[in-house]
Amino acid sequence: MIRFLIFCVASFLSIHSYCQDWVRIYGQGLDVVGRYIIEDYDKGYLIIGDPDYKYSWVLKTDINGNELWTKTLGKGNCTVWSSNIEKTIDGGSIICGTWTKFNTSFDAFLIKLNACGGVEWCKTLITPTNYDMGIRVKPTPEGDFVLLGGYFLTDPYSNISLFKFNHSGDLIWHQFYPMDSIYYDDQPRDLVVDNDGYLIFSSRYCPDQGTNSPAIIRSYFLKTDTTGNKKWDLVYGVDSHYYSWPIMATKNSFNDYYATCSHTIYSSGDNPAIIKLLHDGDTSYNHDIINTGSFWLSGMISLDFFNDTNLILVGGWVINDVKDLVIIKTDTLGNLRKTKILPLLTSTYISTAKSFDNKFITIGNDATGATWKIYAVKVNSDLEYDSIYSQPFTYDSLCPYSIVSDTVDPDCDNVYVGIDEPFKNPETTRLKVYPNPATNFITIEMPKYLVVNNTASKIPSTTIYHMWGSAVLEIYDLFGKKLFEKEVIRSETALMIDVSRWPKGIYFCRLVFNNQTVADSKVIVE
């Protein structure tokens, strides 16, 4: 089906002429703010936004940007901030964001849609009284999902968190990354998925090397493996006094990382800049795209690779008190190659998607006329306005029926309350052995969560597993002799063991997961 679609698109492009410039306005009269745009499987587009900040709103277009249908998600009496939307391997999509649907404070949410725009499942992650955020959701190569969150826990103190869900929306594990005392106010920004793990891009306040204050905002990078354990992290510019406000990150085909930021030079102003890191976390270079001479915050909101030698970036700057919103092309060193001034909006351009034919569509927000609407433009590789196709295009579809626009309040039947429960209630992470002392039988209750601590790096990380295939229960005597071993699957919450023939003494129980002891206890046999 998809092969046929691609053939049709390619054939259509080769035989039809172009006409009208590709410029579109969506949501007029609706008061909607756009958040993110992606290309869909049929070469149309999906746009996520928030009407009145009360709903999460999905707009589906064809290849020419014509509206096909919308889905309005929410109950309308809460505050909603959508963050992004991504395609899933089954032709559907996944949405993340922040809302107050179940709580007086903000909580992160995930909504999975099928190829017809219907809700498959919805999840909300709650830590009561905390201001918690869903920043980015990304699909993984194996079909799971990783959510980057901002969870403001007090013990351990942390802002950055990762949550991994399976394709059905079950929470597999989550992880928080506690901070040292000299750091504060992490603000997660973006997430890049690799085959070997995940790159978190954030801001962080910390002082220069050799000083205790003042703390300066900087770009912060944290690379994990596929289980969320930290491989390396980097606060950028501590030695070189490089002060920057991070915005977005991506990677090239060589798995090097590129990030956009607003670079602050206290003597001259704020400049849009590029930072490059190697895959192992070594610094490569930074470069200011243009010197603005202005202290207005400037930066590129989105970036993507045109090819391995050129980047496309969208954002804005202020030079000589004149504000410009632009789409630019640079080489990978950040040297400016071409600039196109985009229509000036009351806000800015917020998200850009790369099309199958190396073109770029970007959306922004404009409130001219008192209500917010979404402005979309599409440019070709020369940064000229693309043209719409002059004849109708017939779409293939993964949906077996005609999709209609409607409003749905997702059930969110699985609400994860108390994500910080393992920290507030350590009993849920321990092996419980009773009776103790014992004579004939002991019962061992498995922990509700498996806790894997990684203390190898400067800032330790702790992974909390909600789901796992199995772990191994082992029991040793005082001399290290193993008397018992059994593989325990997750559904086995308790085991009864006959110890009536064991010599009197002290015995040590431990639960092993991924070759690491995740819980232990001891028992006396009389």
Task: Say how many domains are in the chain.
Answer: 1
Q: Is residue 485 included in any domain, yes or no? A: yes
Tell me which DSSP letter residue 267 carries. T
Cα 144–Cα 150–Cα 152 angle in degrees, nearest 5: 135
Query: Residue 474: which domain range?
Result: 429-525
Q: Is residue 182 included in any domain, yes or no? A: no
pLDDT beyond 70 at 14 = no
Q: Is residue 440 included in any domain, yes or no? A: yes
Question: Which CATH number does the domain housing residue 441 bear?
Answer: 2.60.40.10
> Rounded to an integer, what distance in angstroms lies between the CA atom of residue 125 and that of residue 105?
12
The owner of tokens 């869900």 is 165
pLDDT beyond 60 at 29 = yes
pLDDT at res. 440:
93
What secondary structure does DSSP assign to 95-122, as a single string? EEEEE-SSSSS-EEEEEEE-TTS-EEEE
Buried b (16+ CB within 10 A) or exposed e, 396-416: bbbeeeebeeeebebebeebb
pLDDT beyond 90 at 211 = no
pLDDT beyond 90 at 71 = yes
Residue 8: band (very low, low, confident or very high) from pLDDT cuts 50, 70, 90 = very low
Residue 12 in 3-state DSSP? helix
Q: What does the radius of gyration of the chain's CA atoms come to, in whole angstroms? A: 26
The one-letter amino acid at 345:
L
Taking the CB of residue 505, how many other CB atoms lie within 10 A of it? 12
Q: Is residue 382 included in any domain, yes or no? A: no
The one-letter amino acid at 444:
I
Q: Is residue 501 included in any domain, yes or no? A: yes
Query: CA 504 from chain center: how many Å?
Result: 53
> Rounded to an integer, what distance in angstroms lies between the CA atom of residue 492 and that of residue 513?
15
> Rounded to an integer, what distance in angstroms lies between the CA atom of residue 426 and that of residue 159?
20
Lowest mean pLDDT of 114-128, 204-218, 248-262, 403-417, name the range: 403-417
Q: Is residue 363 included in any domain, yes or no? A: no
Residue 228 in 3-state DSSP? coil
pLDDT at res. 251:
93
Q: Is residue 333 included in any domain, yes or no? A: no
pLDDT beyond 60 at 12 = no
Residue 81 in 3-state DSSP? strand
Residue range 154-173: average pLDDT?
Answer: 83
Q: Is residue 465 included in any domain, yes or no? A: yes
Pairing mode of beta strands 450-454, 184-194: unpaired
Residue 428 in 3-state DSSP? helix
Model confidence over 387-401: pLDDT tens digits?
Answer: 887 766 666 688 988
Residue 396 in 3-state DSSP? coil
Model confidence over 295-328: pLDDT tens digits?
Answer: 888 899 999 998 878 999 999 999 999 999 999 9
Q: What is the mean pLDDT of the chain?
A: 88
Residue range 157-179: average pLDDT?
Answer: 87
Lowest mean pLDDT of 166-180, 233-247, 499-513, name the range: 166-180
- What is the sign of the dihedral through the CA atoms of 322, 346, 326 and 287? positive
Residue 387 in 3-state DSSP? strand
Model confidence over 438-473: pLDDT tens digits?
Answer: 999 999 999 988 988 766 655 566 788 888 889 999
Between the alpha carbon of residue 333 and those of residues 158, 290, 337, the distances in Å are: 34, 12, 11
Lowest mean pLDDT of 81-85, 135-139, 408-412, 484-488, name the range: 408-412
Residue range 50-78: average pLDDT?
Answer: 93
pLDDT beyond 50 at 384 = yes
pLDDT beyond 60 at 7 = no
Query: CA 101 from chain center: how many Å?
Result: 20
Cα 23–Cα 27–Cα 31 angle in degrees, nearest 5: 130
* Contact criterion met (CB below 8 Å) for 513 and 448: no
> Rounded to an integer, what distance in angstroms lies between the CA atom of residue 308 and that of residue 310?
6
**For residue 454, what are the contacts with CB-CB under 8 A and spacing of at least 6?**
229, 230, 460, 461, 462, 463
pLDDT at res. 458:
55
Residue range 69-76: average pLDDT?
Answer: 92
Reference 134, options 142, 120, 123, 118; nearest CA is 123
Residue 4 in 3-state DSSP? helix
> What burial class does residue 378 get, using C-beta atoms within 10 Å of its C-beta: 0-12 exposed, 13-18 middle, 19+ buried?
buried
Helix boundaries (H) for 292-428: 421-424
pTM for the predicted model, two decimal places: 0.88
pLDDT at res. 506:
95
pLDDT at res. 396:
67
What percent of the chain lies above the pLDDT cut of 70?
91
